[in-house]
């Protein structure tokens, strides 16, 4: 009976840790996507500014 309690306790602990890890991974993915979008937007804005600063001659 004691071994069964240990197994249930260990399995429960592993599931809790796995849930926390998956939650952390999900947040890291979300943060990464937001950072990537910010970099793309900043690059676009900088490109637009440099295009305005140096107009092409036609």
What does the alpha-carbon distance between residue 33 and residue 27 come to, in Å, rounded to a whole number?
A: 10
What are the pLDDT digits (tens) for 18-55?
Answer: 999 999 999 999 999 999 999 999 998 988 888 777 66
Task: Write down the pLDDT at residue 58.
Answer: 59
Whether the per-residue pLDDT at 56 is higher than 70: the answer is no
Indicate whether 32 belongs to any domain: yes
The pLDDT value given to residue 30: 94
Q: What is the rounded distance in angstroms from the CA atom of residue 10 to the CA atom of residue 4? A: 10
40 occurs within a structural domain: yes
pLDDT of 4 > 90? The answer is no
Q: What is the DSSP string of 1-58?
A: -HHHHHHHHHHHHHHHHHHHHHHHHHHHHHHHHHHHHHHHHHHHHHHHHHHHHSPPP-
Domain of 47, in residue numbers: 24-51
Count of the separate structural domains present in the chain? 1
pLDDT at 11: 92
pLDDT of residue 54: 66
């Amino acid at each position: 009976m004691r071994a069964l309690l240990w197994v249930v306790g260990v399995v429960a602990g592993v599931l809790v840790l796995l849930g926390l890890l998956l939650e952390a991974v999900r947040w890291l993915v979300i943060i990464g996507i937001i950072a990537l979008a910010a970099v793309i937007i900043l690059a676009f804005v900088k490109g637009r500014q440099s295009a305005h600063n140096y107009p092409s001659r036609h």
